[in-house]
Amino acid sequence: MTELLSQHGRVDLFVIGGGINGCGIARDAAGRGLSVALAEMHDLASATSSASTKLFHGGLRYLEYFEINLVRHALAEREILLRAMPHISWPLRFVLPYHRDMRFESDTPTAKLLNLVMPWTKGRRPAWLIRLGLLLYDNLGGRRILPGTRTLKLPGTPEGAPLEPRFEKAFEYSDCWIEDARLVVLNARDARARGARIMVRSKVICAARRDAGWDVTLEDADSGAQRVIRARMLVNAGGPWVGDIIHNTVRIDSTEGVRLVRGSHIVTRRLYEHDKCYFFQGSDGRIVFTIPFEHDFTLIGTTDEDHADPSIAPECTPQEQQYLVDFVNAYLQQDISRDDIVWTYSGVRPLYDDGASSATAATRDYTLNVDDAEDAPILNVFGGKITTYRRLAEDALDKIAPYFDGLPGRWTAGVPLPGGDFAVGDVDKLIAGLRSAYPFLSQFWARRLIRAYGSESWKLLGDAVTPGDLGVDFGASLTAREVIWLMEHEFARSAEDVVWRRSKLGLRLDAVQIAALDKWMQRQLRARAVPAAE
Please say if the pLDDT value at position 121 is more than 50: no
Q: Facing residues of 110 across strands? A: none
> Which pLDDT band holds residue 362 (cuts at 50, 70, 90)?
low
In a 10 Å sphere around its CB, with 0-12 CB exposed, 13-18 middle and 19+ buried, how is residue 303 labelled? Answer: buried
pLDDT at residue number 274: 97
How, if at all, do strands 378-383 and 226-236 pair? parallel
* Poorest-pLDDT segment among 33-37, 64-68, 149-153, 529-533: 529-533
For residue 209, which phi and psi values (nearest 5 degrees)? -75, 135
Q: Does residue 342 lie in a domain region?
A: yes
Rounded Cα gap, residues 127 and 149, in angstroms = 14
Q: Does residue 353 surpass a pLDDT of 70?
A: yes
Write out the residue range of the structural domain in which residue 515 sits. Answer: 427-526
Helices 20-31 and 180-193 sit at what angle, rounded to 10 degrees?
30
User: Where residue 171 sits, what CATH number does that domain have?
Assistant: 3.30.9.10
Contacts of 353 (CB under 8 A, 6+ apart): 256, 257, 258, 259, 362
DSSP 509: S
Cβ neighbours of 342 (radius 10 Å): 12
How far is it, in rounded angstroms, from Cα 286 to Cα 143? 26
CA gap 428, 411 in Å, rounded: 29
Does residue 168 fall inside a structural domain?
yes
Is 305 exposed, middle or buried (CB count within 10 Å of its CB: 0-12, 13-18, 19+)? buried
DSSP assigned state of 282: -
- Rounded to 5, what percent of the chain is helix, strand, coil? 35, 25, 40
| All residues at 6 or more sequence positions from 487 whose CB lies less than 8 Å from its CB, including other chains | 493, 521, 524, 525, 530, 531
Please check whether residue 377 is in contact with residue 371, taking contact to mean a CB–CB distance below 8 angstroms.
Answer: yes
Question: What's the pLDDT score for residue 528?
Answer: 73
Work out the pLDDT band at 7, boundaries 50, 70, 90.
Answer: very low
Q: Is residue 358 part of a domain?
A: no
User: Which own/partner contact pairs does 205-208 have at CB distance under 8 Å and 24+ positions apart?
Assistant: 205/249, 206/249, 206/250, 206/251, 207/14, 207/16, 207/234, 207/249, 207/250, 208/250, 208/251
Which whole number is the average pLDDT over 361-377? 85
pLDDT at 425 over 80: yes
Identify the band that residue 308 occupies on the pLDDT scale cut at 50, 70 and 90: confident
Is 195 found in the same domain as 153? no
Same domain, 510 and 454: yes
**106 — pLDDT class (breaks 50, 70, 90):** low
Domain membership flag for residue 60: no
Would the pLDDT of 11 be above 90? yes
253 with 266, same domain: the answer is no
pLDDT of residue 30: 98
Asked whether the CA dihedral 407, 411, 416, 422 is positive or negative, the reply is negative
The confidence score (pLDDT) of residue 258 equals: 83
Distances (CA, A) of 194 to 35, 38, 209: 9, 13, 27
10 Å CB burial of residue 244 (0-12, 13-18, 19+) is middle
Shared domain check, 270 and 156: yes
CATH number for the domain including 192? 3.50.50.60
Q: How confident is the model at residue 124 (pLDDT cuts 50, 70, 90)?
A: low
Q: Are residues 163 and 274 in the same domain?
A: yes
Q: Are residues 185 and 215 in the same domain?
A: yes
508 inside domain: yes
CA angle in degrees (0–180, nearest 5) for 455-457-459:
95
Supply the CATH number for residue 508's domain: 1.10.8.870
Angle, helices 389-400/68-84, rounded to nearest 10 degrees: 100
Q: Are strands 55-56 and 378-383 parallel, antiparallel or unpaired?
A: unpaired
The DSSP-derived string for 470-496 is G--EEETTEEHHHHHHHHHHS---SHH
- Tell me if the bond preceding 302 is cis, omega within 30° of 0: yes
**Percent of the chain's residues with pLDDT above 70:** 90
Q: Are the beta carbons of 267 and 324 closer than 8 angstroms?
A: no
Q: How confident is the model at residue 513 (pLDDT cuts 50, 70, 90)?
A: very high
Average pLDDT of the residues of the chain? 90
Asked if the structure places residue 59 within a domain, the reply is no
| Cβ-proximal residues to 113 (8 Å cutoff; 6+ apart), any chain | none
SS3 447: helix
- The stretch 476-502 carries a mean pLDDT of 98
- Please report, rounded to a whole number, the percentage of residues in the chain having pLDDT higher than 90: 75
Q: Is the pLDDT of residue 175 over 90?
A: yes
Amino acid occupying residue 209: R
Per-residue pLDDT at 125 exceeds 80: no
Same domain, 192 and 320: no
User: Predicted confidence band at 101 (pLDDT cuts at 50, 70, 90)?
Assistant: low
Q: Given pLDDT bands bounded at 50, 70 and 90, which one contains residue 382?
A: very high
Q: What is the rounded average pLDDT of the residues 131-138?
A: 86
Model confidence at 105, pLDDT cuts 50, 70, 90, reads: low
Same domain flag for 193 and 275:
no
pLDDT-derived band at 127 (thresholds 50, 70, 90) equals confident
Q: Which amino acid is at 421?
A: D
Co-location of 317 and 285 in the same domain: yes
Domain shared by 263 and 337, yes or no: yes
State which of 319, 352, 385 marks the end of a domain: 352
Query: Is 514 found in the same domain as 451?
Result: yes
**Within a domain: residue 55?**
no
Q: What is the pTM of this model?
A: 0.93
Tell me: pLDDT of 1 over 50: no
Q: Measured between alpha carbons, how far is 132 from 128 in angstroms, rounded to an integer?
A: 6
Which of the four pLDDT bands, split at 50, 70 and 90, describes residue 111?
low
Number of folded domains that form the chain: 3
In a domain, 310, yes or no: yes
Which DSSP string do the residues of 433-446 spell out, in sequence order? Answer: HHHHH-TT--HHHH
Which residues on adjacent β-strands are paired with residue 175?
92
pLDDT of residue 39: 98
- Measured CA to CA, the distance from residue 23 to residue 490 in angstroms comes to 13
Mean pLDDT across 521-527: 93
374 pLDDT above the threshold of 70: yes
Query: Do 375 and 346 share a domain, yes or no?
Result: no
